[in-house]
C-alpha cells in the first residue's frame, strides 16, 4: 500500500532524529560463488540456515555472481564478545553490495539480503540501520544478544527507517507505507546499560505489508524514571508480530499504524505495557501483560477532543498484577464519532482492580475474573448505528476453530532442532533459480524427493521459472531464503477461460500436512489463466503457510513493469492472473498467517515508484470450512479481494484490502476477466446501483455460516490513479471513491469486530440493501464500526 498516512511523528524526529552517519561499504571480494560458499562454510555453527547458505543468487541483480544474498556478521568483523563495539560490522554486513539504503532508493527487488547473527553478545554503540528487503536473523538455537552500549544515543538500537536532520520535515529513509518484505527474528535486545532517563528503544519499525518481527526479547531498565520503549512504530500500513517479550521501560510497545496483527506478546514491568499511539484497527491475540502500572493505553488525543485511536480488538489474553487494564477515552459523544472503539473477548484478569477506565472513571470494575465479552463503540445488528458500552452477547465460537477455548494459532517453524542432513537444497537438486532457465522439472523433483524422505526443501534465494503446474503433495515442508520466487511463465496459463494452478497444494481427496514459509509466487508476462496458488489439501492441524506472499508484477523479470504496463489502458500483455489464491472445497483446515496477496500498483524497481496497471481477476476465494486467516492482505483485483462462498467456520483477523487504482476505468462490470458462474463471481450488472461508481467488493460473503472476523479494513483510495477522492483535507470527511465495498448475501451468519473502511459511501450491504453509511461512523480518517453482527 502506497497511501501516505495522515499521521506523522514529530516526536520521533525532534527528540531522537539523527543524521545517518556514513556506512562503510565494500564490494564482494570475488565473483566466484564457490569462494563465497567456502567463506560461509568457515563459519558453520550448527544452525541449518547458516550452514547451508551461500548458494542463493539475486537473479536480476546487475552482477548476480558477485552479489551476496547471505551475509554472516562475523565475516564483516563482528566479534560478539560483549566488549568490542560491533555496530560498524553490522552496518557493513547490511549495506554491502550497492543495496537500497535510506534516502537512496524508494524500493528494490534485486538486492535482497539475509544478515545472519551467530550466538554471542554483540555490543552496539551506534544504531543498526536497516536496508530495503532485509532479513536480520539470529541463531534460534541460542539467541544472540544485541547489547546497547551505555553511550548509545539513537532513535533505536535497530532503526527500520532513520530520520534525517536535514530539511524542514526531517524526512524518513522510506515512505512508511511502501516498506515491504523485511523481517527481524531470534534476538535478545538488552538496553539495561543505557541510563533510564535517556531515550532508548529496542526497535524502530515503521512497516507495511509482508513484514514481521518474531521471537524477540527486549530488556530495559525497570525504573520509575524510565523513558525506554521496547518497540516503537509511528506509521505504516502493516503488519505482523509474534512471540515478542519485553521487560521494563516506560512502554513495552509504543505503536501506531493503519492496521496490525499481533500474537503472543508478553510485556512485564513497564509503566505502560502497550501504548496505542493511533490506529485504524489493531488485532491483539495472546497478550500476557504483568506488573505494569497500566496494561494498555488508548487515550491519545483525548485532551484535544480528537481521538487518534480508531479501534482495538483484544482476545484470548491474560493481565496480571496491573492496577488498570484498559485506559480509554470513549464516550457517546466521542469526536470523531467512530474513534476509540474497543472489543475485549476472553480476557483473564488476575489481581487487576480496574478493568476499563474512561476519562479517569471506572467503566468496568476488575479483580480476579474473566471478561467474556465487553466493548464500546458503534454497533449494527445489522441495523444501526447504536452506541454501546458494556457486556456483549457475542456469537459462540465454532469448536473446530479452537484450541483449549482459544482460537488456534501456530507460529512459523524455525526448524532449529533439525540439522543439515534434514534438508534438501533446491539448487543442489538442479534448479538454477536464475529467472531464465526452466526449473519446472528440477523444482517438482525436489519437492517430491523431500516429501518422500520427510525432509525440508530449502529454496535458496533466486527466481525459479516454471512453465507448468507445480504439485505440492501432503507431507511437504518448504522454506525460503529471504523470499525466493517461483515464477510462472508461458502458454500453460494463456487462457483466462481455462485456468490452471501455478502452485497446487494437494489434489481433491488428498489429506495430510503442509508447511511452507518465506517464499513468493509471481507470474511473468501475460498469464490470464493462472490460479497462482490453489489449495486443495484436507489439512492436518499443525500445518500452515507463513510469510508466503504473491507478488503479481512490479518487479524485475516479471515483464509487468512500467515499460509493459503503463497506466491508462487495458493491455492484454498485462493480464497476469485469473485468481490469486483459491482455497477449494476440499481444502478444509487451511491455515494462513502473515500473507500478502498483491497485484502490483507500482513498479518496485522504478526510481520514482511509477504507477502501473496490471490486471488480475480474483483475489482470495475461500470455499472450504474451518479456515484460519491470521494477518492477511489482498489488494488490487478486478472482481473482489476476498470472497467466502458456501463455507462454515472461518477465523479472520486482521484482514485488509485495497481497490485497484485504475478503477473505475475499467470498472467491475467492464473489467477484462468477465464473470463466471463456475467461480460464483458477483454480477455487478445487477449489484451496482445505476449512476454510482461500480468498483469490486473488498469482501463478499455468500451463503456462509460462522464467519468470525476480528478486525479488518476495506480501503478504496483512488479514482483513475488519483487520490483526490480520498484526500485528508476533504470537508467533513466525505471520501467518495466507490459506492459499495462489503456485501453479505444469501443464508449467511457473520460477526465482525472492528470493521474499518476508507473511501466507500456504503459500509455494509445485505442482499442489495445498504445498511451502514460512512457518515455515521467517521473515525480517525477511516470509518469504523466496532461491532457488526448478522443472524448470529
Query: Helix, strand or coil for residue 641?
Result: strand
Rounded distance between C-alpha atoms, residue 649 and residue 726, angstroms: 34
Q: What percent of the chain has pLDDT over 90?
A: 93
Burial of 183 (0-12, 13-18, 19+ CB in 10 A): buried
- Mean pLDDT is lowest, of 169-173, 557-561, 573-577, 760-764, for 169-173
Residue located via cell numbers 525532534: 14
674: in domain? yes
Residue 653 scores a pLDDT above 50: yes
* pLDDT band with cut points at 50, 70 and 90 for residue 153: very high
Averaged pLDDT for residues 231-254: 98
347: in domain? no
Residue 19 scores a pLDDT above 60: no
What local confidence, expressed as pLDDT, does residue 15 receive?
A: 29
Handedness of CA 675, 681, 686, 689 (dihedral sign): negative
* pLDDT band with cut points at 50, 70 and 90 for residue 769: very high
Q: What is the DSSP string of 168-219?
A: TT--BSS-GGG--SEEEEEEEEE-TTS-TTS--EEEE--B-SSEEEEEEEEE
Residue located via cell numbers 479501534: 311
pLDDT one-digit tens code per residue, 575-614: 999 999 999 999 999 999 999 999 999 999 999 999 999 9
What local confidence, expressed as pLDDT, does residue 35 receive?
A: 57
* pLDDT band with cut points at 50, 70 and 90 for residue 786: very high
Q: Identify the domain boundary among 244, 270, 296.
A: 270
Write the secondary structure of 581-630 as one string of H (helix), E (strand) and C (coil).
EEECCCCCCCEEEEEEEEECCECCCCCCCCECCCEEEEEEEECCCCEEEE
Nearest to 489 by CA among 507, 475, 470: 470
What domain count does the chain have?
2
CB 218 within 8 A of CB 246: yes
Q: For strands 272-290 and 530-535, give the pairing.
A: unpaired
pLDDT one-digit tens code per residue, 29-79: 344 455 555 555 558 999 999 999 999 999 999 999 999 999 999 999 999
318: in domain? no
pLDDT one-digit tens code per residue, 533-587: 999 999 999 999 999 999 999 999 999 999 999 999 899 999 999 999 999 999 9
Phi and psi torsions of 363, nearest 5°:
-100, -25
Residue 677 exposure: Cα atoms within 13 Å on the Cβ side? 0
pLDDT one-digit tens code per residue, 308-342: 999 999 999 999 999 999 999 999 999 999 999 99
CB 97 within 8 A of CB 31: no
The whole model's pTM is what? 0.95
Owning domain of residue 600: 467-790
Q: Identify the domain boundary among 270, 298, 325.
A: 270
408: in domain? no
What local confidence, expressed as pLDDT, does residue 21 receive?
A: 30
* pLDDT band with cut points at 50, 70 and 90 for residue 20: very low
378: in domain? no
Averaged pLDDT for residues 365-389: 98
205's grid cell? 519499525
Q: Identify the domain boundary among 270, 297, 321.
A: 270
What local confidence, expressed as pLDDT, does residue 165 receive?
A: 83
Residue 22 scores a pLDDT above 70: no
What local confidence, expressed as pLDDT, does residue 41 receive?
A: 57
339: in domain? no
What local confidence, expressed as pLDDT, does residue 289 receive?
A: 99
CATH number at 56 reads: 2.160.20.10
599: in domain? yes
What local confidence, expressed as pLDDT, does residue 169 receive?
A: 76
282: in domain? no
Mean pLDDT estimate for the chain: 94
What local confidence, expressed as pLDDT, does residue 489 receive?
A: 98
Buried b (16+ CB within 10 A) or exposed e, 340-355: bbbbbbbbebeebebb
Nearest to 293 by CA among 236, 354, 343: 354
Our measurement of the distance from residue 269's CA atom to the centroid of its chain's CA atoms, rounded to an integer in Å, reads: 28
* pLDDT band with cut points at 50, 70 and 90 for residue 16: very low
* More confident site: 42 or 304: 304
Planar angle of CA 69, 74, 79, nearest 5 degrees: 155
Averaged pLDDT for residues 430-439: 98
Amino acid at each position: 500500500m502506497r497511501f501516505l498516512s495522515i499521521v506523522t511523528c514529530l516526536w520521533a524526529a525532534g527528540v531522537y532524529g539523527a543524521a545517518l552517519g556514513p556506512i562503510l561499504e565494500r564490494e564482494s571480494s570475488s565473483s566466484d560463488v564457490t569462494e563465497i560458499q567456502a567463506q560461509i562454510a568457515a563459519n558453520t555453527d550448527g544452525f541449518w540456515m547458516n550452514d547451508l547458505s551461500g548458494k542463493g543468487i539475486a537473479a536480476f541483480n546487475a552482477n548476480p555472481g558477485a552479489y551476496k544474498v547471505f551475509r554472516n556478521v562475523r565475516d564483516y568483523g563482528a566479534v560478539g564478545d560483549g566488549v568490542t563495539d560491533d555496530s560498524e560490522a553490522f552496518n557493513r554486513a547490511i549495506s554491502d553490495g550497492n543495496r537500497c539504503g535510506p534516502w537512496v532508493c524508494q524500493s528494490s527487488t534485486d538486492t535482497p539480503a539475509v544478515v545472519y547473527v551467530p550466538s554471542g553478545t554483540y555490543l552496539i554503540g551506534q544504531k543498526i540501520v536497516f536496508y530495503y528487503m532485509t532479513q536480520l536473523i539470529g541463531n534460534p538455537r541460542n539467541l544472540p544478544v544485541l547489547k546497547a552500549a551505555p553511550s548509545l544515543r539513537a532513535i533505536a538500537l535497530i532503526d527500520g527507517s532513520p530520520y534525517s536532520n536535514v530539511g524542514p520535515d526531517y524526512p524518513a529513509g522510506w515512505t512508511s507505507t511502501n516498506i515491504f518484505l523485511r523481517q527481524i527474528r531470534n534476538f535478545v535486545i538488552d538496553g539495561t546499560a543505557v541510563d533510564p532517563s535517556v531515550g532508548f528503544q529496542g526497535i524502530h519499525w515503521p512497516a507495511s505489508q509482508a513484514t514481521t518481527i518474531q521471537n524477540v526479547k527486549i530488556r530495559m531498565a525497570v525504573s520509575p524514571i524510565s523513558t525506554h520503549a521496547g518497540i516503537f512504530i509511528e506509521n505504516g500500513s502493516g503488519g505482523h508480530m509474534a512471540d515478542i517479550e519485553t521487560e521494563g521501560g516506560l512502554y513495552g510497545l509504543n505503536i501506531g499504524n493503519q492496521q496490525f496483527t499481533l500474537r503472543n506478546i508478553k510485556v512485564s514491568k513497564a509503566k505502560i505495557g502497550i501504548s496505542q499511539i493511533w490506529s485504524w484497527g489493531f488485532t491483539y491475540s495472546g497478550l500476557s501483560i504483568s506488573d505494569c502500572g497500566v496494561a494498555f493505553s488508548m487515550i491519545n488525543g483525548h485532551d484535544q477532543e480528537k481521538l487518534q485511536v480508531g479501534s482495538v480488538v483484544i482476545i484470548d489474553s491474560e493481565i496480571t498484577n496491573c492496577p488498570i487494564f484498559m485506559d480509554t477515552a470513549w464516550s457517546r459523544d466521542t469526536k470523531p464519532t467512530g474513534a476509540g472503539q474497543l472489543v475485549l473477548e476472553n480476557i483473564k484478569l488476575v489481581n487487576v482492580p480496574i478493568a476499563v477506565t474512561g476519562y479517569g472513571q471506572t467503566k468496568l470494575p476488575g479483580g480476579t475474573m474473566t471478561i467474556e465479552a465487553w466493548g464500546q463503540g458503534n454497533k449494527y445488528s445489522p441495523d444501526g448505528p447504536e452506541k454501546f458500552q458494556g457486556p456483549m452477547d457475542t456469537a459462540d465460537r465454532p469448536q473446530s476453530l479452537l484450541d483449549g477455548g482459544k482460537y488456534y494459532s501456530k507460529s512459523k517453524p524455525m526448524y532449529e532442532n533439525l540439522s543439515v542432513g534434514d534438508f534438501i537444497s533446491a539448487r543442489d537438486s538442479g534448479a538454477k533459480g536464475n529467472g531464465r532457465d526452466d526449473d519446472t522439472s528440477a523444482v517438482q523433483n525436489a519437492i517430491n524427493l523431500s516429501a518422500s524422505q520427510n525432509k525440508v526443501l530449502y529454496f535458496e534465494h533466486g527466481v525459479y521459472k516454471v512453465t507448468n503446474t507445480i504439485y505440492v503433495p501432503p507431507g511437504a515442508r518448504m522454506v525460503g531464503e529471504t523470499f525466493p520466487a517461483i515464477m510462472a511463465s508461458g502458454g500453460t496459463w494463456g487462457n483466462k477461460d481455462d485456468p490452471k494452478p501455478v502452485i497446487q497444494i494437494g489434489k481433491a481427496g488428498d489429506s495430510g500436512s503442509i508447511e511452507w514459509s518465506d517464499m513468493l509466487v509471481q507470474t511473468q508476462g501475460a498469464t490470464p489463466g493462472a490460479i497462482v496458488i490453489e489449495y486443495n489439501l484436507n489439512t492436518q492441524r499443525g500445518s500452515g503457510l507463513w510469510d508466503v506472499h504473491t507478488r503479481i508484477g512490479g518487479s524485475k523479470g516479471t515483464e509487468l513493469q512500467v515499460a509493459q504496463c503503463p497506466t491508462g489502458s487495458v493491455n492484454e500483455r498485462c493480464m497476469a492472473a485469473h485468481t490469486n489464491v483459491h482455497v477449494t472445497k476440499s481444502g478444509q483446515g487451511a491455515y494462513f498467517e502473515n500473507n500478502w496477496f498483491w497485484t502490483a500498483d507500482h513498479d518496485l524497481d522504478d526510481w520514482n515508484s511509477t504507477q502501473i496497471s496490471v490486471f488480475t481477476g480474483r483475489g482470495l476465494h475461500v470455499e472450504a470450512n474451518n479456515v484460519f486467516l491470521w494477518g492477511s492482505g489482498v489488494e488490487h483485483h478486478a472482481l473482489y479481494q476476498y470472497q467466502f462462498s458456501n463455507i462454515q467456520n472461518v477465523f479472520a483477523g486482521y484482514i485488509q484490502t485495497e481497490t485497484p487504482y485504475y478503477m473505475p476505468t475499467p470498472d467491475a462490470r467492464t473489467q477484462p476477466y468477465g464473470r463466471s458462474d463456475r467461480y460464483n463471481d458477483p454480477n455487478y450488472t445487477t449489484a451496482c446501483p445505476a449512476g454510482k461508481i461500480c468498483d469490486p467488493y473488498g469482501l463478499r460473503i455468500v451463503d456462509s455460516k460462522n464467519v468470525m472476523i476480528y478486525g479488518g479494513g476495506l480501503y478504496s483510495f483512488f479514482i483513475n490513479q488519483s487520490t483526490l477522492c480520498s484526500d485528508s483535507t476533504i470537508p467533513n470527511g466525505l471520501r467518495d471513491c466507490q459506492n459499495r465495498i462489503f456485501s453479505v448475501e444469501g443464508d449467511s451468519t457473520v460477526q465482525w469486530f472492528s470493521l474499518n473502511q476508507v473511501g466507500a459511501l456504503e459500509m455494509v450491504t445485505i442482499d442489495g440493501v445498504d445498511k451502514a453509511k460512512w457518515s455515521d461512523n467517521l473515525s480517525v480518517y477511516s470509518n469504523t464500526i466496532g461491532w457488526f453482527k448478522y443472524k448470529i
